[in-house]
Structure formats: structure tokens, C-alpha cells
Structure 1
Amino acid sequence: MSDARAPLWRTSSYSGAGKECVEVADNAGGALVRDSKQPEQGHITIPSHGWNTFLTALKAPRS
């Protein structure tokens, strides 16, 4: 039986097979991030403010 509270992990569409990058899952307080090569090692939790700041920086134009 699966746990309804289990995170739904996803990888970037740019990651190909998804085995050489990080995985991200939504969390009520922000985001969960883990290594796709070693998911059994656990994850880190990034608070909403920090995650939004990170995503904004990724989307910003570079000069």
C-alpha cells in the first residue's frame, strides 16, 4: 500500500533519463530536493521563500 503523503518526485525535462540530476517534490512549506542517484540518502527541505528566490535567480536573464 502506498502512503498518500509520500512526495511526488520529479526531475527537469532537461535531465534526459533523470539519473544524473536532482529530484524535486512539492512540500507545504517549500520544496524537497534529493540526489537522483542516491534517493535512499534522504532529502533536504528548502523553505518557500528560499525556493522562490532560487527559481527567480534561475529564470533571470544573464548578461
Structure 2
Amino acid sequence: MDLITSAWRKASRSSDAGDNCVEVTGTSNAVALRDSKDPDSGHILLSRKDFRHFAEALKSL
């Protein structure tokens, strides 16, 4: 997965106030997440299955 040229999208639940900003990108096999305020600080790479579990857990909060 080439994260440098990937089309990162700001998550729909991200705040316009500058906090809780998350960007996502993905392929058929994986999803990457990063902080949109500091995109060079790194990313989290998850399989689609693990991302689905992660998103479900967040929705239950």
C-alpha cells in the first residue's frame, strides 16, 4: 500500500474545530488511519476485518 500517494479522506465524524481529526485511506485489503493535524507523525494500518471491529467498538461508546 503506497500511503504517500494514497487519496486520504477526512472522516465524516471529524470536527471542524480542529480536534478529533482523523483521515482514512484504503485498498481492498487494508485501511490506514492518521491524524489529519499531523499527517507526517505516522499511521495505523489495519486489515479490513480489524478495521470493521474497531469501528464497531467505537460506535458502541
Q: How many residues were matched structurally? A: 58
What is the DSSP-based 3-state SS (H/G/I as helix, E as strand, rest coil) of the residue aligned with 1:13? Answer: coil
- CA drift at 1:35: 0.8
> Partners in 1 of 2:17 and 2:51 — Cα distance?
21
Unpaired runs of 5+ residues, structure 2, are none
What is the DSSP-based 3-state SS (H/G/I as helix, E as strand, rest coil) of the residue aligned with 1:15? Answer: coil
The aligned counterpart of 1:8 is 7
Unpaired runs of 5+ residues, structure 1, are none
Render the CA deviation track for 1:12-59: whole Å, top value 9, x for unaligned. 233243843111111232200001111011211011110111233445
**CA contact under 8 A between 1:25 and 1:32: conserved in structure 2?**
yes
Provide closer, same or farther for how the CA distance between residues 18 and 53 of structure 1 changes in structure 2, counting only shifts above 3 A.
Answer: farther
Provide closer, same or farther for how the CA distance between residues 39 and 47 of structure 1 changes in structure 2, counting only shifts above 3 A.
Answer: same
Q: CA RMSD in A?
A: 2.7
The two structures have a TM-score, normalised by structure 1, of: 0.63
**CA contact under 8 A between 1:19 and 1:36: conserved in structure 2?**
no
Q: Percent identity?
A: 36
> Partners in 2 of 1:18 and 1:44 — Cα distance?
23
The two structures have a TM-score, normalised by structure 2, of: 0.65
Where does 1:19-58 land on structure 2 (aligned, <5 Å)? 19-20=18-19, 21-58=21-58
